[in-house]
Amino acid sequence: MNNLSHKYVSNSLDFENIPTATITISHQEISESLEIISKITQNQQQWQAYLNLLAFIVFKKWLNTRSITFNQSLNKYTICQVEYVNFINAICNLQVGEFTICLIAIGSLTDELINLPQVIVDLPEFTPHFYVLVEVLEEEKMGLVSGFISYQKLIKNLTTSNLQPEFDWNYQVPLSWFDSNFNRLLLYLRCLQPEIIALPSIPERISALRIFESELIELLPQLISPKRQLWEVLTWEQATLVFTTPELLDWIYKKQLQFGKESQEAENERIRLSDLFKLLTQPAINVERWLSNQLDELAQQLSWVLLPSLVPTSALRSTKEEFAAIAIQLQKQGLKLPLDARAAYQDLLLFGIRLRLYAVTWYFTSQFDKDEWTLLLILGTVTGGYIPLNLKLCISDKNGILVEKGVDTNNTPYLFARVIGSIDEKFLVKIILRKGVDVTLPPFGFDK
């Protein structure tokens, strides 16, 4: 028996009679589940996460034996994203035909109360048409579908009984609320129209993120330790934004993975979080419009100037000519700008220093048939002189700093930085003279 099984063997009960409707779990499936939960940072979550993964295996096999299969697109399944497995004690957003299913894994049916995480009840991003109980007999390497309840019926029962969530964001609901006739569930999945079970609409969250931004920037670094639970630090209103913003949940998960392996400087964490919130909440300059010879409203407000072409048509020194010279310099360094690339520039003032930032973009399809775009940044001075010593040009995405170019000599005329991202990615650009003296531009995006 594996170490995890030894650790939690006291949590499993001896079953004298194994139900006849059980599904067998293979040794390989157990090994794969153990490998996944080895990435769980919350130690107290590991056992439940292990049961959840086994429940997923049982439920999938149970459906297959009845000629019902999962939809093929798994990108929305929380089981495919470790940060959700780490923080949510259920498997959400499973698609079975046109229905959404949420699996609740339990070790046995001897308890009369079932813990339902508030996340899967009160947040529309995670609410399903049906909640399905899966009993996992871990020691026997078996499991079975034990009951279900529709979203509508659950909400009706909660309202009627005036049942409120516990301090740790769990509803304790009676087992008797669940229908034990799984053949009825199969009938619903085959014959019922999904719109019969009306699900709540997902609200707009950006405004609330902006409102709670400063609070979350202060609080989230307290969750870097795997020993801290979200409910110990956040209010439910704050946690709602974390659960429904994958980037924030992912940030906490990754910081917990790194806990103890690197120094955790609170001020740096707040800066990184602040940058992440800018990417999440601020409107982005849409550089895709540049390819159509247009500036979006935000770029116009910020006084960006679109260059008509990369080739100068005048002998006079101009911004256009300056950029053409830069393009030739780039080509000598091995970067030839494609003919359909478009550039724009903005003049900035940083601590009395007049800077000019060129941004170049183009669209392409990668070797993996993935639609991607490039953002090339060129930082110089308005006068054409050398850049101040120690100046830095940084580009970040939601995961942190991607590129950081600095000036370490006295004769540097330009800083160059380039990033490539998928169509839905955004980048944040920051110019830093020294600590506390910097300018952060609105995010750059490529919205086709």
Confidence label for 432 from pLDDT (cuts 50, 70 and 90): very high
Q: What mean pLDDT do residues 41-68 have?
A: 85
Of the candidates 242, 261, 281, which is a domain's last residue? 281
User: What pLDDT sits at residue 218?
Assistant: 92
User: What pLDDT sits at residue 16?
Assistant: 40
What are the Cα distances from residue 321, in Å, to 98, 309, 354, 417? 58, 10, 19, 21
Q: Is the pLDDT of residue 80 over 70?
A: no
User: What pLDDT sits at residue 17?
Assistant: 44
- Say if residue 150 is in the same domain as residue 216: no
Query: How confident is the model over 142-172, as pLDDT tens digits?
Result: 999 999 999 999 999 999 999 999 999 999 9
Of the candidates 139, 172, 196, which is a domain's last residue? 196
- Say if residue 136 is in the same domain as residue 183: yes
Number of structural domains found in the chain: 3
Query: Does 427 or 410 have the greater pLDDT score?
Result: 427
Quick check: is 422 in a domain? yes
Contacts of residue 300, Cβ cutoff 8 Å, sequence gap at least 6: none
Confidence label for 72 from pLDDT (cuts 50, 70 and 90): very low
Quick check: is 252 in a domain? yes
- Say if residue 155 is in the same domain as residue 214: no
> The domain that contains 40 carries what CATH number?
3.40.1350
- Say if residue 318 is in the same domain as residue 377: yes
Quick check: is 294 in a domain? yes
User: What pLDDT sits at residue 14?
Assistant: 41
Query: How confident is the model over 436-446, as pLDDT tens digits?
Result: 889 999 999 99
Q: What mean pLDDT do residues 80-105 have?
A: 88
- Say if residue 307 is in the same domain as residue 221: no
Count Cβ atoms below 10 Å from residue 264 Cβ, excluding itself.
14
Structural domain boundaries enclosing 215: 206-281
What is the rounded CA–CA span in Å between residue 165 and residue 16?
Answer: 34
Quick check: is 201 in a domain? no
User: What pLDDT sits at residue 170?
Assistant: 96
| Rg (the chain; Cα; Å) | 27
Quick check: is 77 in a domain? yes
- Say if residue 267 is in the same domain as residue 290: no
Count Cβ atoms below 10 Å from residue 218 Cβ, excluding itself.
12
Which of 204, 46, 226 is closest to 124 using CA atoms? Answer: 204
Encoding tokens for residue 176? 């008797």
Query: Does 230 or 64 have the greater pLDDT score?
Result: 230
Quick check: is 45 in a domain? yes
Confidence label for 8 from pLDDT (cuts 50, 70 and 90): very low
- Say if residue 222 is in the same domain as residue 265: yes
Torsion of CA 245, 247, 251, 252, to 10 degrees: 20
Q: What mean pLDDT do residues 116-130 have?
A: 97
- Say if residue 265 is in the same domain as residue 290: no
User: What pLDDT sits at residue 275?
Assistant: 95
- 330 φ/ψ sector (left φ>0, alpha ψ -120 to 50, else beta): alpha
Q: What mean pLDDT do residues 321-333 have?
A: 72
Q: Is the pLDDT of residue 408 over 80?
A: no
Residues facing residue 388 across a β-bridge: none
- Say if residue 334 is in the same domain as residue 415: yes
Of the candidates 154, 176, 196, which is a domain's last residue? 196
Quick check: is 154 in a domain? yes
What is the rounded CA–CA span in Å between residue 249 and residue 251?
Answer: 5
Quick check: is 105 in a domain? yes
- Say if residue 234 is in the same domain as residue 167: no
- Say if residue 319 is in the same domain as residue 430: yes
Query: How confident is the model over 348-357, as pLDDT tens digits?
Result: 999 889 999 9
Query: What string of H, E and C letters represents the secondary structure of the chain?
Result: CCHHHHHCHHHCCCCCCCCCCCEECCHHHHHHHHHHHCCCCCHHHHHHHHHHHHHHHHHHHHHHCCCCCECCCCCCCHHHCHHHHHHCCCEEEEEECCEEEEEEEECCCCCCEEEEECHHHHCCCCCCCEEEEEEEECCCCEEEEEEEEEHHHHHHHHHHHCCCCCCCCEEEEEHHHCECCHHHHHHHHHHCCHHHCCCCCCCCCHHHHHHHHHHHHHHHHHHCCCCCCHHHHCCHHHHHHHHCCHHHHHHHHHHHHHECCECCCHHHHHHHHHHHHHHHHCCCEEHHHHHHCCCCHHHHHCCCEECCCCCCCCCCCCHHHHHHHHHHHHHHCCCCCCCCCEEEEEEEEECCEEEEEEEEEEEEECCCCCEEEEEEEEEEECCCCCCCCCCEEEEEECCEEEEEEECCCCCCCCEEEEEEEECCCCEEEEEEEECCEEEECCCEECCC
Confidence label for 318 from pLDDT (cuts 50, 70 and 90): low
- Say if residue 182 is in the same domain as residue 64: yes
Query: How confident is the model over 164-205, as pLDDT tens digits?
Result: 999 999 999 999 999 999 889 999 998 999 999 999 999 999
